[in-house]
Amino acid sequence: MKTLFSSFVIFLFINISAFSDSLCIVPEEVYTEVSNLVLECHYRDAERILDSFIDKYPNEPAGPLLKAVVLQYEFTDYEDFSRDEEFFYLLDSAEHCAEKILRVNNDDVWAQYFLSASKSIRGVWLVSSGDFLKGIVKGRSGAKGMSDIISRNSNFYDAYLMLGSYTFWKSVAIEPFHWMPFIEDKRKDGIAKVEQAITHGKFTGPLSNIVLLEMLLEFDTALAVRLGEKMVKQYPSCRLFFWQLGEAYKKIRRYNDAVRIFTKIAESMAHDEVDDGAGELRCWWKLAVLSKSVENKSECLYYCNKVIKLGEQDSVYKKQYKRINKAIEMMKELKDE
């Protein structure tokens, strides 16, 4: 692994590209290497590459922005948000660096992109953590920045990713009002924008299918299943795609397929030195809930027992006490029937 990491560091300092008149460094090759590591669930190696970039280029917004994105994927995979202060610090750094460049050149398109991307990511985080109003304001600001970039250069495909995501989720939020004049359902438009970004963007590629899958889970579960199956076949080490495919199977009650996927994730977590058992527990809890929903009592008891057993570890209980206590209640309820 040390030799592999060293080769990535060499790539880091050789493969740095500029974009037209931008004062920013646009490290496409760094992103590609980091993206490949995330697709293998090697988050810490991806972080080390970005730490090296940040150390060498402390005034560039790309480094802290990309590391914040890696942390976001880690948080999602492990459901561990203990490094949230670092996450916000990275976004603050990216915004500060981008704003500094924009004070020199207000038309710097990549500086505008990095600034808008930071705002968009912050908005998503705030909404998901319950600060809906502040999150919407930040998200709208980021989306407007992306829209401005596209109005100046329609071929700046990276901007379509977050603009498309914002367009989609805004349309979902106002879905009850789609019947009213002048309020359009723009979910398909949002999906199309994200697909453009994935195909043509510099900081997108296969990993950004995670954004698309989240949208498809809301919009069309059958499409989410097809894309999820494609992605787990192409990237069998990426748990992020497996989590989403498992949710898609769970949503349409394809019980045996959901069991297969979440069991595979649990096995991966059991061999992951970063996970203390909390990630594995999440898989069994999801299957316990699914088993109950399809009235499979014996399987539900089996998965509840696995949850409770893992919860005997203090570190796991602290993280997962709500699910563990629910599993205990569920077992009692089923046994009393």
- Look at residues 100, 132, 164 and tell me which one is the last residue of a structural domain: 132
- Domain endpoint, select from 74, 105, 132: 132
Structural domain boundaries, residue 320? 258-337
Residue 336 lies in a domain: yes
Q: How many domains does the chain have?
A: 2
Per-residue pLDDT of the chain (337 residues; tens, 9 = 90+): 433 333 333 333 333 344 456 899 999 999 999 999 999 999 999 999 999 999 999 999 999 999 999 999 999 999 999 999 999 999 999 999 999 999 999 999 999 999 999 999 998 887 777 776 677 777 888 999 999 999 999 999 999 999 999 898 888 877 776 667 767 889 999 999 999 999 999 999 999 999 999 999 999 999 999 999 999 999 999 999 999 999 999 999 999 999 999 999 999 999 999 999 999 999 999 999 999 999 999 999 999 999 999 999 999 999 999 999 999 999 999 988 7
Q: What is the pTM of this model?
A: 0.89
**DSSP SS3 for 105:** coil
Residues 161/194, Cβ–Cβ less than 8 Å: yes
Give residues with Cβ within 8 angstroms of 328, minimum separation 6. Answer: 304, 308
Residue 110 resides in a domain: yes
Amino acid identity of 110?
Answer: W
Q: Identify the domain boundary among 74, 101, 132.
A: 132
Among residues 25, 66, 14, the alpha carbon closest in space to that of 43 is found at 66
Could you write out the DSSP letters of every residue in 24-85?
A: S-B-HHHHHHHHHHHHTT-HHHHHHHHHHHHHH-TT-SHHHHHHHHHHHHHHHHHT--TTHH
